[in-house]
Amino acid sequence: MDLRDYIIRRLLLLIPVLFGITLLIFAVLMLFSPSQRAAVYATSPKALKNIDVIIQKYGLNEPIYVQYFTWLKQVLSGNLGFSQIASRPVLEAILDKLPATFELALFSAPLILIPGFYLGTVAATHKDKLVDQFSRVLAIVGWSLPTFWLGLILLMFFSGILPTGRLSNQAVLLKQSEAFTVYTGMNTVDALLNGKFWMFFDAVQHLILPAVTLAVVSMAALMRIMRSSMLEELRAKYVTTARAKGLKEETVINKHARRNALISPVTTATWMVALLFNGVAVVEIIFNYKGIGWLFIRSAQQLDIATVLGFSLFNGLIIMLFNLLADILYAYLDPRINY
């Protein structure tokens, strides 16, 4: 079986996984009474007074299996319910906040991947030397820091230096004006596309603290994994043979050892990027960064069932897709894998 067939098989396997995710979310939904579940679809306080009409319309008094397929039909059509906190359909609310979270993840990912891979490699090639000791201490400290605590510490130390939120008041006014066109919802990208370079730097300033907070723990973990993987490869017989042939150490490391050492860290890094969407909720609240994590926390505080379950479904899809990507990368990097 070649790589293409493997990808097709993995895509087909996503179907039962997706089915399982929907069953789990539906099971949570069934913990609520029919009137509470009907409130998911209520678009106004007035509609709540006619709760029996909503129950009848969406079949919330039908047998469970009928309710599941009715609910699944609504989900597949994009109807995840109505977000009371955002005063709009849940799908619209999530898609409105998604660019902000995606932008934050996009800025956090290089802070995880570049130092993690580089310092892990350097530490392995300088085992037990000063740079290795420094990297190991850095990794242990970074791994032990709770994300919320690190965020609060950074907020305290950089208060008045680096801003919170997404944009300054001046940039917000420009974004809301007719002179500015929103293309993607990501402030940095839209600022560049509109030729507003000062706004780009303003948006970057607002990204620094939340991006660093998100990245530190994952970067530390990736560094340790990369170091261990690289050390294992450097002890392999093919590396000893390459050195015996007189190859330069740089060639041995970069051309031979590193590629094989990357297999485990790359798949782990893929998971770490996916988990940014899980850890982002606390960070967005701390720095008042209004993405989907911020929306989720606010919805949970207000008992907005529709938005909480919509976010859970979205998060499940993200994890599922990144898991697929990790499997494909693993198969691509290591041809020895039995597809």
Q: Judge whether 189 lies within some domain.
A: yes
Residue 89: strand pairing partners = 82
Domain termination residue (choose one: 42, 61, 83): 83
Domain termination residue (choose one: 47, 65, 83): 83
CA distance linking residue 216 with residue 209, whole number of Å: 11
- On whether both 266 and 131 belong to a single domain, the answer is yes
Q: Which domain does 12 fall in, by range?
A: 3-83
Q: Judge whether 339 lies within some domain.
A: no
Residue found under tokens 């420009």: 174
Q: Judge whether 338 lies within some domain.
A: no
Give residue 305's pLDDT band: very low, low, confident or very high (50, 70, 90). Answer: confident
| Average pLDDT estimate for 249-260 | 78
CA distance linking residue 103 with residue 185, whole number of Å: 9
CA distance linking residue 270 with residue 113, whole number of Å: 10
pLDDT for the residue 26: 86
Query: The domain spanning residue 124 has which CATH number?
Result: 1.10.3720.10
pLDDT in tens, 315-336: 888 888 888 888 888 777 776 6
- On whether both 48 and 135 belong to a single domain, the answer is no
In the chain, beta strands by DSSP E: 82-83, 88-89
Give residue 190's pLDDT band: very low, low, confident or very high (50, 70, 90). Answer: very high
* Among 41-50, 69-78, 112-121, 148-157, the least confident range: 41-50
Please give the structure tokens belonging to residue 158: 């950089």
Number of independent structural domains in the chain = 2
Closest CA to 216 of 287, 272, 278: 272
Q: Judge whether 311 lies within some domain.
A: yes
